[in-house]
Amino acid sequence: MRSSRTRSPRARAGLAWAATLPLVAGALALGAPAADAAGHDGGRHALPGTKPLWATRQADRGATSASAAVTARVYLAGRDAKGLADRARAVSDPHSAAYGKYLSPAQVRARFGATHDQIAKVTGWLKKSGLTVTGTTNRYLTVTGDAAAAERAFAVDLHNYRKSGHTYHAPSATASAPADLADAVLTVTGLDNAPRLAKHHSSELPPPEGVFRNSGPFSSYYGSRTDKKLPSAYGGKAPYAIKGYTGKQLRAAYGAKKWTGKHVTVAITDAYASPTIAKDADTYAARNGDPRYRRGQLSQVLPEDYTHIEECGAAGWYGEETLDVEAVHAVAPDSDIVYVGGASCMDDDLLDSLGKIVDGHLADIVSNSWGDIEANETPDVAAAYDQLFQQGAVQGIGFYFSSGDNGDEVDNTGTKQVDTPANSAWVTAVGGTSLAVGKHDAYQWETGWGTRKAVLSKDGNDWTGFPGTFNGGAGGGTSKTVAQPFYQRGVVPDGLAQANGGGAMRTVPDIAAVADPNTGFLVGQTQTLPDGKLGYDEYRIGGTSLAAPVIAGVQALAQQARHGVAIGFANPGIYQRYGTAAYHDVTDHPLGAGRDLAVVRVDYVNGTDASKGTTTSLRSLGKDSSLRAVVGYDDVTGVGTPGAGYVSSYRP
């Protein structure tokens, strides 16, 4: 079982993200005003990315009714968008004179935020066009109205298009704003309505999902239990998968030593909120050797209402929050944790959660275990995210995103691509490994996380189809939309950076930690039991959704080692340490060329108990689709995983 939540069902055109306009250093490249398909010309400021790729001539079903409802967000560019990006780089680069000289949220708003005059002018333009401004923040304006008003405001025609068996409206050309607002309007989202299904406004969330349990036999540490009656693989007998690593083992593997994350706050974002998180987290800590939570150590910031409950599978996010909270506490047991839940798994709501953290500076470290494929990213939405990430960087806030659980995504989508927002040049993308922690909590080795599964034959004499089919792996690869950031130059091999042809591009991930669900983390959660009652249970889990909070916890240790000075946007410092003892340089063959590794896993057929029987399978390690963990930087584990010297390297 693994978990790396997509942030939305991704049916929406505005989120069917086109890979056509590169984002250079996280800033949206705005085009020059030009005539559009409707004949609007002159005096306009183009907003690239607002026409989705699926809005093609072949899919066009004609003009949208003038009375059709439209809800959109107009994001504000602020005083100095370029200055914001420059400042974000300067305070994050150890080689800069401005390194570590962060600003407060108030200073960021005063220097880079939208002015009252900008907000007033944008509001006036929207109202004059016939739209109603329903909400105003320091970052965006929310507007509603009919299609006719939206067309007037953004100088574009809305048409109906067929997509995936459904009809949605979207701009027939690139939207624009008046030229005299070029310095005020960053972008607009929501002019298409593909994902805007009927909303379920409610303050009540569904009960937890049905219980999931791992079947034994288990190893208590890597290699501790082997069944010699099972078939051999790779020249020997593979051990049983562990029951699930705990904090003590992860802290030993990643060089925690005496540091505990004291006086450091880690924020976590996901959608919705587990109704039993406080009790589950404290129960888990007591059962598995972690310090109990002190009063106020775990807090939540939640929306007033939740939406898209059915579309997002709200109950499925409870386990995500539980994993993230328990993993951070396991690695950094003295750090404070603030969970900021989104009203749904849609971009608007997750952007709002991130905005709460930045505007209130709720934490210096932010763990995010959600994402989607890059093909579903448009420059308009990417620009909104990057503006937030840059504002966070200027304040000393670092964002960590899981890189995905489908390897190169070919098996999942048919196209080799990376995930997003992990592809942003302004976040730390966290890849995944298979981890072996041995007797006495001794670190043994890691491979890149990439699994092939072969089931035990009926006669028990061999592994059917050995080594089997691809069964998940850490996301990684080369972005098609984001240019190579400065900190990757000279570290990422040209063969990876230029893998798509043309210039060097952003390569993912940056760093890694344990993610393989076969060498995963033991988590405890209240679930719905077979009799319909709720009960606490524990199970092993993985995914880069585990790797991200583990790295966030390690960063809390490193910030404590820095005497509490914020690390901020971590990538320049992460790459500065490349090739040093700070990292385990992870490869797919840590025991030598040609020596492959595997574990044996037994699972309940029904995921709960043995009433329907069990299945036994061999899970081969270090086989991540077309991605490979090799000596040096690679697109599975980045620069590697934190080694014994990583946390210490942050000491002044």
Residue 118 is part of which domain span? 17-78+114-189
Residue 31 predicted with pLDDT over 80? no
Residues 269 and 177 placed together within one structural domain of the fold: no
Q: 134: helix, coil or strand?
A: strand
Q: Is 54 helix (H, G, I), strand (E, B) or coil?
A: coil
Lowest mean pLDDT among 159-163, 197-201, 378-382: 197-201
Identify the pLDDT of residue 196.
40
Inside any domain, residue 504: yes
Give alpha helix (H) positions in 462-532. Answer: 494-497
pLDDT in tens, 572-597: 999 999 999 999 999 999 999 989 99
CB atoms within 10 A of CB 533: 7
Nearby residues of 296 by Cβ (< 8 Å), 6 or more positions away: 336
For residue 222, tell me if it sits in a domain: no
Q: Which CATH number does the domain housing residue 528 bear?
A: 3.40.50.200
Pair (252, 171) in one structural domain: no
User: Residue 397 falls within a domain, yes or no?
Assistant: yes
Same domain flag for 142 and 277 = no
236, part of any domain: no
Range of lowest pLDDT (25-34, 365-374, 633-642): 25-34
288 in the same domain as 178: no
Nearest CA to 54 out of 10, 116, 97 is that of 10
Whether 184 and 300 share a structural domain: no
- In this structure, the answer to whether residues 167 and 292 fall within a common structural domain is no
Among candidate residues 150, 174, 189, the one where a domain is terminated: 189
Report, as an integer, the average pLDDT of 120-124: 98
Contact (CB, 8 A) for 338 and 34:
no
pTM of the model: 0.91
In this prediction, residue 163 carries a pLDDT of 84
pLDDT of residue 378: 77
Burial class from Cβ neighbours inside 10 Å (0-12, 13-18, 19+) for residue 588 reads: buried
Same domain? For 134 and 266 the reply is no
**What pLDDT, on the 0 to 100 scale, is given for residue 369?**
96
Give a yes or no: residue 443 inside a domain: yes
Dump pLDDT digits (tens) for 171-224: 999 999 999 999 999 999 999 887 643 222 233 567 788 999 999 999 999 999
Claim to verify: residue 252 and residue 183 sit in the same structural domain = no
What pairing do the DSSP bridges indicate for beta strands 176-178 and 44-46? antiparallel
Radius of gyration of the chain (CA): 25
Pair 149, 287 in one domain: no
First to last CA, the chain: 40
Residue where one domain finishes, among candidates 147, 165, 189: 189
Nearest to residue 535, comparing CAs of 289, 360, 283? 283
Query: Which value, to the nearest 10 degrees, does the dihedral of the CA atoms of residues 522, 524, 529, 532 take?
Result: -150
495 and 428 belong to one structural domain: yes
Q: Domain check: are 410 and 482 in the same one?
A: yes
> Is there a domain that residue 126 lies in?
yes
Looking at residue 259, its pLDDT comes to 98
C-alpha 283/C-alpha 582 separation (Å) is 34
> What value does the mean pLDDT of the chain take?
91
Strands 166-171 and 443-448: unpaired
- Residue 204 has a pLDDT of 52
Q: Which 3 state secondary structure label does DSSP give 613?
A: coil
pLDDT score of 43: 87
Cα 438 from Cα 446, distance rounded (Å): 12
Mean pLDDT, residues 273-298 = 97
Q: What is the per-residue pLDDT across 413-462, written as a single tens digit (0 to 9) for each?
A: 899 999 999 999 999 999 999 999 999 999 999 999 999 999 999 999 99
Residue 512 one-letter amino acid: A
Q: Percentage of the chain surpassing pLDDT 70?
A: 92
Q: Residue 611 and residue 613: Cα distance in Å, rounded?
A: 6
Q: How many CA atoms lie within 13 A of 66 on its CB side?
A: 4
Q: Is residue 25 part of a domain?
A: yes
Burial class (CB in 10 A: 0-12, 13-18, 19+), 175: buried
**pLDDT tens-digit readout, 83-105:** 999 999 999 999 999 999 999 99
Q: For the chain, what is the domain count?
A: 2
629 within 8 A of 448, measured Cβ to Cβ:
yes
- Give the helix/strand (H/E) hosting 60: strand 60-63
Torsion angle, alpha carbons of 303, 306, 312, 317, to 10: 50
In a domain? residue 24: yes
- Among 14-23, 617-626, 627-636, the minimum mean pLDDT is found in 14-23
Position 38 pLDDT exceeds 50: no
pLDDT score at 644: 96
Residues 419 and 509 in one domain: yes
Q: Is 215 in contact with 611 (CB distance < 8 Å)?
A: no
